[in-house]
Amino acid sequence: MCMLYGWYAFDPQWIAVGMDPDKRCGLMERHWAYFIGFGFPYVVLIKSTSFFVGFGAFLAVFPLCIMLGSVSDFQLPYKNRLEESRSKKEDEPEDVKKEQQIMILPVFALSKKWTLSCLKSINPTSLKKTKLN
């Protein structure tokens, strides 16, 4: 739920700049920790109150959520971490370098695979040119 509310906050901005759904899903998979943290207060708000009070409060705060999503830079924490890891010594072992990389959480992998298989069953000739095939 946290990632979903994080998606809700940033989706209007991504649509306004013309970002396609595959790129949006990729951003969610790469920056999953930020979006979980962004949506966490809304989940706590909804789960700690009754149904109507929680969703009523969420709907009241939702415009603020969209405004915060439009001015927030979700890549900044990751940029700082990557810069820190690059500034360390270059002669570190390979396993230490791999540990410092950001983990990608493939939350949309199953839905992408299922959607492509459904589309292939409908019209297999139109998907031959796609890079996901």
d(CA 93, CA 82): 17
Q: What is the pTM of this model?
A: 0.66
The confidence band for 18, taking pLDDT boundaries of 50, 70 and 90, is very high
Nearest-10 Cα torsion for 13, 16, 20, 21: 50
85-119: pLDDT as tens digits: 666 545 555 544 444 466 788 888 888 888 888 88
Quote the mean pLDDT of the chain.
80
